[in-house]
Amino acid sequence: MSKLVFVTGNANKLKEVQAILSAGNQPVEIDSKSLDIDEIQGSTQEVSRAKCKRAAELLDGPCITEDTALCFEALDGLPGPYIKYFLEKLGHDGINKMLVGFESKKAWALSSEPILFEGRTDGTIVPARGAAKFGWDPVFEPNGTGLTYAEMASEQKNLISHRFKALEKLRFTPCGNTVAVSKAEVEYDNSFREGARAWFTVFRLFMAKVALYVFL
Ligand SMILES: O=c1[nH]c(=O)c2ncn([C@@H]3O[C@H](COP(=O)(O)OP(=O)(O)OP(=O)(O)O)[C@@H](O)[C@H]3O)c2[nH]1
Ligand SMILES: [Mg+2]
């Protein structure tokens, strides 16, 4: 059976996805492919779907991609999928400064992959703590942990992270060429303001190169 191909240019993501999927009762093996894919402007879901579709076209086969958003409650969900560029320009301190003057520092990290699997972890934006090895890990403190992602051992982060939650859904999803539309998106819309979140969208190309989005 062929392995699932995960397309990403981000070594940290790849490491976490491999660690999460290779663990547990039903390990999933993945191959990785680093491709430079232009990301469109749009909502996290739109960015994620377009990224996966493009990756599948470039590979000429099935693959998964992930798009991550870090959303601030005070900014009505922004920066969302644009967090990468905010982080590059502003750094951790700048991200904290963006929320000066706002009462709410709440945020959610959201990860999307085509099939769309969503994992959400709520937390708070805090001054940076922990090693600055991966993006905004030092400024995101998941609720109830007292630690930022960056202060956690990778095993701890990988048990509570937005990415873990989305990949757990992927792990237990049977592959098949059926399109299922479920209430996941509705739940997402309804809960959009509640916290930080990450989506994974997994895009699969099925028989006859027909591209199907499967929302689970
Ligand atoms: O501290 C972090 N903890 C995480 O758990 C995490 N997951 C993603 N990110 C960062 O958020 C932006 C999303 O951009 P993104 O989803 O387009 O990723 P990317 O462009 O780096 O890779 P890819 O698109 O090739 O997969 C990028 O700056 C990523 O580095 C994280 N930062
Ligand atoms: Mg990207």
ipTM: 0.97
Expressed in angstroms and rounded, the spacing between residue 67 Cα and the centre of ligand 2 is 7
**13 annotated to a ligand binding site:** yes
Of 43, 46, 44, 57, residue with least CA distance to 7: 57
Neighbours of 75 (CB within 10 A): 14
Share of the chain above pLDDT 70, in %: 75
Expressed in angstroms and rounded, the spacing between residue 207 Cα and the centre of ligand 1 is 31
Q: Which of the two residues, 209 and 95, has the higher pLDDT score?
A: 95
Ligand 1: nearest atom to the Cα of 198 = 7
Can you give the pLDDT at residue 2? Answer: 55
**183 annotated to a ligand binding site:** no
Expressed in angstroms and rounded, the spacing between residue 99 Cα and the centre of ligand 2 is 24
Write the residue with the smallest CA distance to atom 30 of ligand 1.
135
Give whichever of 13-17, 38-42, 43-47 has the largest mean pLDDT.
13-17
**76 annotated to a ligand binding site:** no
Q: With cut-offs at 50, 70 and 90, classify the pLDDT of residue 172.
A: low
Of 68, 109, 63, residue with least CA distance to 85: 68
Q: State the Cα angle at 25 between 21 and 30, rounded to 5°.
A: 25
Domains recognised in the chain with CATH numbers: 4-212 (3.90.950.10)
Q: Which of the two residues, 128 and 50, has the higher pLDDT score?
A: 128
